[in-house]
Structure 1
Amino acid sequence: MTTASIAGAGFGYALLWTLLFSVIATAVLQEMSARLGLVTRRGLSQAIRETFAGRWYGPLAVFLVVAAVGFGNAAYEAGNITGAALGLQGLSGIPSGIWALAVGLSSGALLLSGRYSLIEHVLVALVLLMSTVFLLTFLMVRPPLETLVAGMLQPSLPEGSLLTAIALIGTTVVPYNLFLHSSAVQEKWREDLPIAASLRAARVDTGLSIGLGGLITLAIMSTAAAAFFGSGAQVSAANIAQQLEPLLGPAARYFFAAGLFAAGLSSAVAAPLAAAYAVCGALGWERELSSLRFRMVWLLVLASGTFFAVIGTSPLAAILFAQAANGLLLPVCAVFLLLVMNRSQQLGDYRNGIASNVLGAFVVLVTLGLGGLKLLKVFGLVG
């Protein structure tokens, strides 16, 4: 919500092409993750460890997974918790630092339950809460269709938009979800079910989820563009709810706060869970929700994020940075996934075909290009 609002407010509809790319990339990569989990009954990190075992670069691959996903999630978990805390601050007026601690404890209690179905139901409810008001507002704002199409089909990077473009990709594709999804499908579709039927159901489930997610992001960017772009107003935690005023009037800030809380809490739960699946799989540890090592990993990620959220001073910058880090991490995770998905020893007839490989390579090249361009700008090698 925050990243899409900043994108719409700062650049109007110019970055909608990143949303279209992200939806396609998410569908491609999540389908591979689901196929890996259902066919091999392995998570992505576990498959990486087994695929590269016995090779000199095997330990390096494991280290990259642990460092990039485990420590990376700990680093930007602060942005997730900060988002939820900002929402609660908007509803109550109580400082966000206090709410950050409460959000961290609530997320820990949910994960400590060890019940996957409960966690899934809570996340679904939070996402639905987040989406309803924005979709209704989008219908009221009704941006011109030709403007939306132009933004999606004419890629551009307005001055100062590169980090936001990378963040938009990172907040949609979310590389750690590749590790989470390959493990989560095993919880949802049992091993005794026919693989073909489970794959069909997983693809439908993934398609609906990604489609709804893309529509929500489109709605958020459009309402922010209508409220802020070209007005000279700067988007901030204090005025970001203005994009909902066409529908809700003075009550807009309360509904936005509820949506921001829902978005932040859902991410605050998903990120530690994904890190635990990734790290435990990479190190060969048990990946059960009730496992002590599994719990210690997600607890470390959650505690780190909570600490930095409590002491943080720049919430919107933290959230944007978190999603930009996701975007920079994406090509690394995508390359690992492509390598694993072409192993006939593990997947047999379910390994990647030409179309999956071409689409996967396209995702890697685009994200590498954006990340490389950002690094060149950081070092002053391009303007």
Structure 2
Amino acid sequence: MNRIFRLGLGIMTSIGGFVDIGNLVTSGITGARFGMSLTWAIIVGTIGMTLYGEMAGRVAAVARRPVFQAIRERLGVRTAMLNLVAFVLLALLTLAAEIGGLALILEVVTGLNYLVWVPLIGAAMWLVVWRWPFSLIENLFGLLGLALLVFVVALFVLPTDWGALGRNATHPWVPAQDGHPMYFFYAISLFGACLAPYQVVFFASGGREEHWTTKNLQEMRLNALIGFPLGGLLSIAIMAAAVVVLQPARIDVNHLGQVALPVVQALGPVGLGLALTGFAAAVFAAGTECTLAIGYSISQYFGWQWGKDRPPREAPRFHLACLGAVLVATAFILTSIDPITVTVVSVVLGAAAVPLTYFPVLVVANDRTYMGRWINRRWTNGIAVVFLVGMMVISIVALPLIFATKAGR
């Protein structure tokens, strides 16, 4: 039973990090606009996240070093600083999107303007990071996030044409009214939603929090191989539900509440309650992951004491970094910038920044000094290199596509 509960880290990472506000929004938008023709982007992104997540977890377990400490030791202070700055800026933007997304969920529930909820959400997120035990966070939000499986149930209740969904997924097409730039912009957004760099930092640092060693490698791999694909499955289910309900009605998703419409049509108020519970759990969990990942990365780079379960008097700078991250992200959303726009931009920039985080992980995972006999296998390196080259191409075209498509509008 204890081993089952320990899988909560992988479940939380998939539900709260994989299916976060970015994935909820982009899956809904792409399903409504492109049908299932972008399913391949979620599948490829899931494979990449699973591959590099396993690598980062293995580095944490074998080298017994968190990600940014290993990066600094292996690549040097200056290169690691570039990685750190890029990572923190992107994670702050992602955290702002999570806070704004949760505020939008509460707007749907209460009818109050989302800006009313933003400072309260920021305060709640900080209190959870500061006061709640790590095990409580991962298990509670992991279990509540499983409410998103209601989208899978909805597909069986709705008049779903499974054959049409399958043909659409296996024969991608570009709608004439959108064109290739818009299609590939949203393909990149799905990649970014699946491959958010903070997931790698959180997953590996969480392993160090739980004191992973080589004895935990099997457990770590189960976390990665079960958790991340589960997130991918839920993303595809959300996309498919949008295809069944939103696309025929020509509803263009511009609010998070519209993503839940397929569940409402299938299951009524009960379905809506489950969907909103899953949304809130996933987005809040992702926000705590982002917050912790920022504190982890800064503390690991500078060699400070860090750890979720360390009280502030033992790791004051770690907790201050987490607090600062929440304050900056909250202030950014309070400028009244559209949270959906922030979300879409953050996931596209996240895809562009993937090489900065993932390349160092690949380097360390192939270093015998750190990994001994647990270095990457040849087939792992082959897939990882092909994947990384593809992401480098994406990093080049991402910014031009943001301007060419006006951030997908």
Taking structure 2 as the reference length, what is the TM-score of the superposition? 0.84
Determine whether 1:127 maps to 2:151.
no
Does the Cα contact within 8 Å between 2:144 and 2:277 map onto a contact in 1? no
CA-CA distance at 1:343 after TM superposition:
0.8
3-state secondary structure, aligned to 1:34: helix
Letter in 2 for 1:19: I
Residues 322 and 38 (structure 1 numbering): CA distance in 2 closer, same or farther, change over 3 Å?
Answer: same
What is the Cα deviation at residue 324 of structure 1?
Answer: 1.6
Structure 2: gaps (5+ residues):
1-23, 405-409
1:350 aligned to 355, 365, 374, which one?
Answer: 374
**Structure 1 residues 62-71 or 155-164, which shifts more?**
155-164
Cα distance change, pair 11–42 in 1 and its aligned pair in 2 (3 A)? same
1:24 maps to 2:47: yes
Matched letter for residue 267 of structure 1: A
Query: Is 2:224 aligned against 1:206?
Result: yes
Aligned residue pairs, count: 370
Deviation of the 1:278 alpha carbon: 1.4
Q: Are the equivalent residues in 2 in contact too, given 1:5–1:221 (CA < 8 A)?
A: yes
Alpha-carbon distance between aligned partners in 2 of 1:215 and 1:187, rounded to the nearest angstrom: 28
Indicate whether 1:361 and 2:380 are aligned: no
1:230 positional shift: 4.6
Residue 65 of structure 2 aligns to a residue whose secondary structure is coil
AA aligned to 1:12 is G
Could you say which residue in structure 2 is the equivalent of 1:270? 289
Q: Which moved more, 1:232-241 or 1:286-295?
A: 232-241
Q: Does 1:7 align with 2:30?
A: yes
Partner of 1:55 in structure 2? Answer: none
SS at match of 1:78: helix
Counterparts of 1:143 and 1:371 in 2: how far apart (Å)?
Answer: 36
Q: Which moved more, 1:230-239 or 1:306-315?
A: 230-239
Q: Show structure 1 runs of 5+ residues with no match.
A: 53-57
Question: C-alpha separation between the residues in 2 aligned to 1:189 and 1:283?
Answer: 21
Write out aligned runs for 1:125-274 (5 A): 125-129=143-147, 131-141=148-158, 143-154=160-171, 159=179, 160-191=182-213, 195=214, 197-237=215-255, 239-249=258-268, 253-274=272-293
Distance 1:236 1:301, change over 3 A: same
Deviates further, 341-350 or 70-79: 70-79
Q: Distance in 2 between matches of 1:216 and 1:330?
A: 22
SS at match of 2:334: helix
Does the CA contact (< 8 Å) of 1:80 and 1:265 recur in 2? yes
Residue 131 (structure 2) aligns with? 113
Q: Distance in 2 between matches of 1:65 and 1:371?
A: 14
Q: 8 Å contact 1:82–1:264 — kept in the other structure?
A: no
**Paired residue for 2:328, among 290, 298, 304?**
304
Structure 2 Cα separation of the partners of residues 338 and 149 of structure 1: 34
Q: Is the 8 A contact 2:292 2:322 kept in 1?
A: yes
- Identify the range of structure 1 (134-143 vs 322-331) with the bigger mean alpha-carbon deviation: 134-143
- Percent of aligned pairs with the same amino acid: 24
Cα deviation code 1:203-232 (max 9, x no counterpart): 112211112111110110011111222533
Shift of 1:255: 4.2
C-alpha contact (below 8 Å) 1:25/1:173 kept by paired residues: yes
Say if 1:79 and 1:319, in contact at 8 Å, map to a contact too. Answer: yes
Q: CA deviation at 1:373?
A: 2.7
Structure 1 residue 190: Cα displacement: 4.4
Q: Mean Cα displacement is larger for which, 277-286 or 210-219?
A: 277-286
The one-character-per-residue Cα deviations of 1:255-285 (angstroms, maximum 9, x if unpaired) are 4433332222111111011111112112222
Work out the CA distance in 2 between the residues paired with 1:92 and 1:248.
21
Q: Match for residue 77 of structure 1?
A: 95
**Pairing partner for 1:60 from 70, 75, 78:** 78
Alignment CA distance shift 1:265-1:84 (3 Å): same
CA contact (8 A) 1:37 1:183 kept: yes
Q: SS in structure 1 opposite 2:260?
A: helix
- Distance in 2, Cα, partners of 1:265 & 1:82: 10
Deviates more, 1:232-241 or 1:213-222: 232-241
TM-score by length of 1: 0.90
2:253–2:259 Cα contact (<8 Å) kept: yes
Find the counterpart in structure 1 of residue 14 from structure 2. none
Q: Is the 8 A contact 1:12 1:222 kept in 2?
A: yes
Asked whether the 8 Å contact 2:32–2:250 carries over to 1, the reply is no
Q: In the superposition, relative to structure 1, how do residues 119 and 138 fare at CA in structure 2: closer, same or farther (>3 Å)?
A: same
Counterpart Cα distance in 2 of 1:142 and 1:27? 33
